Chains A and B, each alone.
Chain A
Amino acid sequence: MSEAKAFAMTCPLPLSDHPRIKMAHGGGGRMMQGLIEDVFFAAFGNPVLRSGHDGAVLDLPQGQPVMTTDSYVVRPLFFPGGDIGALAVHGTVNDLAMCGARPLYLSASFILEEGLETATLWRVVQSMRAAADATGIQIVTGDTKVVERGHGDGIYINTTGVGVIEHEIQIRPDRIKKDDLIIVSGDIGRHGMAVMGAREELAFTPPIESDCAPLWNTVADMLDAGIDIHCLRDATRGGLCAVLNELAQSSGLQFDVVESDIPLAANVRGACEVLGLDALQVACEGRFVAMVPKSDAERALEIMKVQNGSSSVIGRVTDGEAGLVTLQTAIGGRRILDMPAGELLPRIC
């Protein structure tokens, strides 16, 4: 059986001895060493990690190195379609992919709350391993701290990623040009609804699953096909609306999108209608927006459709008002898509 499957079947940490994380697990002594070896090394196991240095000495292939970092504080820790561990890996790996960099290595730093069930930590760490395997990256260094009960949300994770750009295509907001087409890589709004639905009062049947997923393979295929990608950005908090606003602002251009072209799954749509939420503002996790010249759009779309059949061209770039994002509505009217402000709350009015 595969190595991944083998390690998943037995948790080497003697749970009966340490069913919960204690302050001493972050104390630098024997208990912390035990945690590191029995949980982190066991799950992430690779020679670089096991060498136990203060830092990871990396073998970087030829190309421009890229680094990115992100912290993950999602509550609840587990939700339909994912968990904080998968997010922590995919999220950072995807940020590298959005720069056009092949993801190689990740660091993983944990802030654990005293009293966290060790079995929960094990589940999260297994999930990180599975996510890492899915993109072929290695987790090569990390850190562990424990904070007093009440001072953390169970687990906070920071991951920093290193990748390398192995091609000549410049992928940056200032490369976005008038007449570029805007393509979204799949249906939107899943992740936010999945996390919201983990709260019993806001849940639907069947549960909506997060779209948490790795994006590098699609980007790699687009680069291999020679698509002249101008810009990529993955949609996370604030959803599609936030991404469009950010890019419109950074590029100083106007984006015009068409509501009926934006892919939305029937379950996400139903839940958003009932709770009064704007699906365009609901968080995604495994979705990105690509800005490509018109001539490359059809080929780009074909490649993106391989990962998700609902990928769609949703609009275009114009040289109207800098930073403005407009939406042609379902009935042919027009409205401005403002940067989302604050928390998304169900409404009744």
Chain B
Amino acid sequence: MKYIDEYRDPEAARKTAAAIAKTVTRPWTIMEVCGGQTHAIVRFGIQDLLPDAVELVHGPGCPVCVTPLEMVDKAIEIAARDEVIFCSFGDMLRVPGSEKDLLTVRAEGGDVRSVYTPLDTLKIATDNPDKQVVFFAVGFETTAPANAMAVHRAKEKGLENFSVLASHVLVPPAIEAILSSPDNRVQGFLAAGHVCAVMGTAAYAPLAEKYQVPIVVTGFEPLDILQGIHRCICQLEEGRAEVENQYERAVRDAGNVGAQALISKVFRLIPRKWRGIGEIAASGWTLSDAYADFDAERRFDLADMEVAEPENCISGLVLRGLEKPADCPAFGKQCTPDHPLGATMVSGEGACAAYYRYRKDRAHE
């Protein structure tokens, strides 16, 4: 597959890894923000190719991990209603709420469906006029164009039985929250390439400047990630703190202007609570006033939620790179991929789930 296979070439991977090893003179801690990048790192075993001096920390770049518990509970409450067809990306179906997850709701009789694109939910709404179709609109900026288009089309068609539970999160505020934390250990960032394909790169220069950290906009194939790491390491070794674009085949500095225009019509900026991290100002999107009719939170009379995370879950600390999964007393014992306590163990690219796989490998060595 073009634009994929070339970036999985083992010889080029070896060469780039060797170049990284040659360049490092001291330990560095780099965070990749995006869950998709974490997934690639785990899937291709990229950590194996890196010298020990390069520590990769997996950031809060996965909506599965950071969607606030209250939102998951609201989704569960809506999905359980008889008149609702609840549609969601597959990733969210296994995320534990306070008591259960959406798959359990389905087992209990709820009509819960996974979709690949929110655009398909419009057809589900048209085909089921006597039902309320609700879409769980989570994601980073990358997914906002799709979610915005779905809501926009619903409004154009006057689809009255369609609504979204919106829970978007934004990357730059998350990076700032991590960098501004007094116990921050992250020295360089691989910025999320697909987020930047939509939003452009302008938001990162002020961060690089203010906190003096290199930020490399990076793609998702193994060679992209290795090249991104190499560029980040070069900057760190040379004492530079700039924004670089490794993913230039997909990312323009201005981003996707058309997508940004629709996003600013359909969404508005709000503070957002990030699971495990807490509230970050101006870090989320919800539906704008023009599209407020399609907000499921307003349409459904939802009770105020008292939410509580399991006490021994430290996923927030893990998401910020402050603790390793192996530091958690519950890791591998009460908390495993089969019985996750927190979101970082549920998601395939959650740091804890990823470490769970490495742990067996390391123990074997």
Name A's B-contacting residues (CB within 8 A): 200-202, 266, 269-270, 273-276, 278, 320-321, 324, 326-327, 329-336, 338, 341-343, 345-349
Given known A331-B44, A333-B46, contact A274–B10 (CB-CB < 8 A)? no
B361 near A348: Cβ-Cβ < 8 Å: no
Name B's A-contacting residues (CB within 8 A): 1, 4, 8-10, 13-14, 35-36, 39, 42-49, 62-64, 89-91, 93-94, 103, 113-117, 120, 124, 139, 143, 222-223, 337-338, 347-349, 357-358, 360-361, 364
Closest to B139 in A: A348
3 cross-chain pairs, A with B, having the tightest CB-CB distances, nearest first = A333-B45, A345-B90, A331-B13
Closest to B5 in A: A330
B337 near A349: Cβ-Cβ < 8 Å: no
Q: List 11 A-B contacts (CB under 8 A).
A: A273-B1, A327-B45, A330-B8, A332-B14, A333-B45, A335-B45, A335-B357, A336-B358, A347-B89, A347-B91, A349-B63
By a CB distance below 8 angstroms, the chain A residues around B90 are 276, 345-348
By a CB distance below 8 angstroms, the chain A residues around B62 are 349
B42 near A335: Cβ-Cβ < 8 Å: yes
Nearest CB in chain B: distance from A203 CB, A: 10
Complex Cα gap A320–B348 (Å): 26
By a CB distance below 8 angstroms, the chain A residues around B13 are 331-333
Complex Cα gap A247–B67 (Å): 38
Given known A270-B1, A345-B93, A349-B347, contact A332–B63 (CB-CB < 8 A)? no
B139 near A324: Cβ-Cβ < 8 Å: no
Complex Cα gap A345–B114 (Å): 7
By a CB distance below 8 angstroms, the chain A residues around B139 are 348-349
Our pick among B89, B337, B349, B358 for the contact of A346 (Cβ within 8 Å) is B89
Given known A347-B348, A348-B89, contact A331–B63 (CB-CB < 8 A)? no
Complex Cα gap A70–B305 (Å): 45
Could you tell me the dominant secondary structure of chain B's interface residues?
Answer: helix
Nearest CB in chain A: distance from B325 CB, A: 15
By a CB distance below 8 angstroms, the chain A residues around B124 are 201
B44 near A346: Cβ-Cβ < 8 Å: no
Given known A329-B45, A347-B348, A349-B35, contact A320–B361 (CB-CB < 8 A)? no
B43 near A349: Cβ-Cβ < 8 Å: no
By a CB distance below 8 angstroms, the chain A residues around B9 are 331
By a CB distance below 8 angstroms, the chain B residues around A349 are 35-36, 39, 62-64, 89, 91, 139, 347, 349
Complex Cα gap A30–B35 (Å): 62
Closest to B44 in A: A329
Closest to B350 in A: A349
B94 near A321: Cβ-Cβ < 8 Å: no
Nearest CB in chain B: distance from A268 CB, A: 12
By a CB distance below 8 angstroms, the chain B residues around A346 are 89-90, 114-116
B8 near A331: Cβ-Cβ < 8 Å: yes
Most buried by B among A270, A330, A333, A338: A333
By a CB distance below 8 angstroms, the chain A residues around B39 are 349
Closest to A337 in B: B357
Complex Cα gap A335–B354 (Å): 10
Complex Cα gap A300–B147 (Å): 51
Closest to B361 in A: A336
A331 near B64: Cβ-Cβ < 8 Å: no
Most buried by A among B90, B113, B143: B90
Given A321-B364, A331-B222, 8 new contacts (CB under 8 A): A266-B1, A269-B1, A321-B360, A330-B10, A330-B222, A333-B45, A336-B361, A348-B139
By a CB distance below 8 angstroms, the chain B residues around A201 are 113, 115-117, 120, 124
By a CB distance below 8 angstroms, the chain A residues around B35 are 349
A331 near B49: Cβ-Cβ < 8 Å: yes
By a CB distance below 8 angstroms, the chain A residues around B364 are 320-321, 324
By a CB distance below 8 angstroms, the chain B residues around A336 are 357-358, 360-361
Closest to A334 in B: B45
Complex Cα gap A348–B64 (Å): 10
Closest to A333 in B: B45
Complex Cα gap A348–B337 (Å): 19
Closest to B4 in A: A273
Most buried by B among A276, A321, A332: A332
Our pick among B89, B338, B361 for the contact of A335 (Cβ within 8 Å) is B361
Complex Cα gap A342–B116 (Å): 19
Most buried by B among A269, A346, A347: A347
Our pick among A327, A335, A343, A347 for the contact of B103 (Cβ within 8 Å) is A343
By a CB distance below 8 angstroms, the chain B residues around A327 are 45
By a CB distance below 8 angstroms, the chain B residues around A347 are 89-91, 348
Most buried by B among A321, A329, A348: A348
By a CB distance below 8 angstroms, the chain A residues around B93 are 345
Our pick among B10, B116, B223, B348 for the contact of A275 (Cβ within 8 Å) is B116
By a CB distance below 8 angstroms, the chain A residues around B4 are 273
Closest to A343 in B: B103
By a CB distance below 8 angstroms, the chain A residues around B44 are 329-331, 333, 335
By a CB distance below 8 angstroms, the chain A residues around B360 are 321, 324, 336
Complex Cα gap A202–B120 (Å): 10
A333 near B49: Cβ-Cβ < 8 Å: yes
Complex Cα gap A327–B93 (Å): 28
Closest to A345 in B: B90
By a CB distance below 8 angstroms, the chain B residues around A275 are 116
By a CB distance below 8 angstroms, the chain B residues around A331 are 8-10, 13, 44-46, 49, 222-223
Closest to A269 in B: B1
By a CB distance below 8 angstroms, the chain A residues around B49 are 331-333
By a CB distance below 8 angstroms, the chain A residues around B117 are 201
Nearest CB in chain B: distance from A125 CB, A: 31
Closest to B225 in A: A331
B143 near A348: Cβ-Cβ < 8 Å: yes
Nearest CB in chain A: distance from B322 CB, A: 22
A329 near B114: Cβ-Cβ < 8 Å: no
Complex Cα gap A202–B115 (Å): 7
Complex Cα gap A327–B91 (Å): 24
Complex Cα gap A290–B35 (Å): 36
Our pick among A329, A342, A345 for the contact of B91 (Cβ within 8 Å) is A345
Complex Cα gap A313–B331 (Å): 37
Our pick among A333, A335, A342 for the contact of B94 (Cβ within 8 Å) is A342
By a CB distance below 8 angstroms, the chain B residues around A330 are 8, 10, 44, 222
By a CB distance below 8 angstroms, the chain A residues around B36 are 349
B91 near A332: Cβ-Cβ < 8 Å: no
Closest to B347 in A: A349
By a CB distance below 8 angstroms, the chain A residues around B45 are 327, 329, 331, 333-335
